[in-house]
Structure 1
């Protein structure tokens, strides 16, 4: 009887492994073809001088990497990415949490706000880029029109190197804050209703409930949202490219826009691949460091 039970358990494990293999195989193949192979090929291409079109490639070793390490334009783009990352986290997540809290505390009568506030996320980034390019134009833009009403002149937010990056960050925040609103609303559903009821029965106000009860329970979700915002901020491309093209000068240049220009505008695919590989390394390191800081040291770590 014992041997029969053992054989049945072994057969069940074998069937489970086979089922897991069958279901995971397509995903594994897709990841190899569309994720792992492109990453490896990018690092390999970075060792060549190549225009991306001709059949001949000239092996130049690590010269592209040496050039990348000394490229001030690339490091300026990385610095701009860090500014976008920090401000995106500081703007999008608190506002998203505030909107989610407003909707959660308001109940079903706040559904209309949920729909209205979610609209920016439904729009294409390219469409939003063109929309705000016209809305913020020097001649006829919103801020210039308001300035003229009060007797001022034109205001050029996108053409001024001192304000262009912050203007773009504001547009990015306008588009993606609804995502973090929905994310925080989903996190609120995991907070037990009896916790809220107990807090109210004990005499807590809604403000006290939020700061002392709900917020600590939402902390893991907020950390996950911060990591998502961070990774997304380091990969921004389409909206920035449409609005400013990385200009004026390099004031809004990001790593992705710089990589695109090197690869598909200047047709320097070898160096563009080095920039893309550098992006991969820097994003990975930044993500690991940020996750370490947010999660803190685990118990038992030295």
Structure 2
């Protein structure tokens, strides 16, 4: 007769694999296989009717590293992420703290903060054109009241990327606020009462108790914000199309441009692999290093 403990362990293993099968099938179809296929495509040259593709190894990566436009786009994306991520998170935290307080018309305030999130990015970009259009935009109209000259916010290399950053922050802050607001409502009110009994000010309570308890939520938002900093490019098609002079071009837009405008799929695949490698390294650092410091003890 078979060992009953061995049969039980085998049944548990089969049950576990059956539970994992749907997730593994989805990840394999939409994550693992596309990643491997993209890496494989990056090792071949661009094919034409007269000259088919051939294996070139890491030549596409070398060509990228020698491309000054690639480095300009990478610098743009670093600046874009360095501005939009911390500003969006800080603004979302401030909005959540205010929307969670006992203020008049609290439901209206929450709705007003969250409204930009439900708009598609294309609609948000078209809305902001009414602010940025030279001569007719809201910003120029307000500036004209004080005698300021008209500014082409989207047509100057010095301001184009910053204008795009403002749209992203306006769109993302309300989305991140929802996570902070949900986390704030899980904090026991007893902690606030204990802090008041001890004579702690509101600032001390927020800094010593609320913010440490929100650190897991902050890590989750940080990962999402980092992904969004290379994922959200819809507004570029409406606002700048990466211009002027590539001043507002981001990495995903450059990937799309190489794949569908220049028909250089191997170069686009190489950039995609590099982007995935950087995102994976940052995510691993956040979860394995920063995550250990996020839990309040």
TM-score, scaled relative to structure 2 = 0.89
Residue equivalent to 2:236 = 240
Return 165-174 or 103-112, whichever deviates more.
103-112
* 57, 60, 67: which one aligns with 2:56: 60
Q: 2:172 aligns with which of 166, 170, 176?
A: 176
Q: Is the 8 A contact 1:103 1:110 kept in 2?
A: yes
Residue in 2 that maps onto 1:231: 227
Is 1:269 the equivalent of 2:265? yes
Change (3 A) 1:102 1:62: same
1:76 to 72, 76, 98: 72
**How many Å separate the matches in 2 of 1:162 and 1:116?**
31
- 1:295 Cα offset (Å): 4.2
Distance 1:187 1:263 in 2: 41
Number of aligned residue pairs: give it: 294
Partner residue, 2:82 = 86
Q: Which residue of 1 aligns with 2:252?
A: 256
- What 5-or-longer segments of structure 1 have no aligned partner? none
What corresponds to 1:151 in structure 2?
Answer: 147
Query: Secondary structure in 2 aligned to 1:234?
Result: helix
1: distance between equivalents of 2:189 and 2:80? 37
**C-alpha deviation, 1:204, in angstroms:** 2.6
TM-score by length of 1: 0.87
1:104 match: 100
1:95-117 Cα shifts (integer Å, max 9, x gaps): 11111111222279512211111
2:123 is matched with 127
What SS is found at the alignment partner of 2:214? helix
Structure 2 unaligned segments of length 5 or more: list them: none
Distance of aligned partners of 1:292 and 1:139 in 2 relative to their CA distance in 1, 3 Å threshold:
farther
Contact 2:219 2:286 in 1 (8 A): no
Contact kept? 1:77, 1:254, Cα under 8 Å: yes
Deviation at 1:148, TM superposition (A): 2.2
1:162 equivalenced with 2:158 (yes/no) = yes
Task: Give the C-alpha shift of residue 283 in structure 1.
Answer: 2.3
The corresponding residue for 1:284 is: 280
State the shift of 1:11 in Å.
5.0
**Contact 2:96 2:178 (C-alpha < 8 Å) held by counterparts:** yes
> Given the superposition, is the C-alpha separation of residues 195 and 67 from structure 1 closer, same or farther in structure 2, using an over 3 Å criterion?
same
> Do the aligned partners of residues 47 and 91 (structure 1) sit closer, same or farther apart at CA in structure 2, a change above 3 Å counting?
same
Report the Cα offset of residue 246 of structure 1.
1.0
The structure 2 residue matched to 1:37, chosen from 33, 42, 62, is: 33
With over 3 angstroms needed to count, the CA separation of the structure-2 counterparts of 1:191 and 1:176, relative to structure 1, is same
After superposition, give the CA deviation of every residue in 1:155-179 in whole Å (9 maximum; x if it has no partner): 1111111111111111100000012
Q: Which moved more, 1:26-35 or 1:238-247?
A: 238-247
Q: Tell me the alpha carbon deviations over residues 71-113 of structure 1, each in whole angstroms, 9 at most, x when there is no partner.
A: 1211211111111212122211111111111122227951221
Deviation at 1:297, TM superposition (A): 7.9
In structure 2, do the counterparts of structure 1 residues 51 and 106 end up closer, same or farther at CA, with 3 Å as the change threshold?
farther
Q: 2:202 aligns with which of 189, 196, 206?
A: 206
How far has the Cα of 1:54 moved from its partner? 9.9
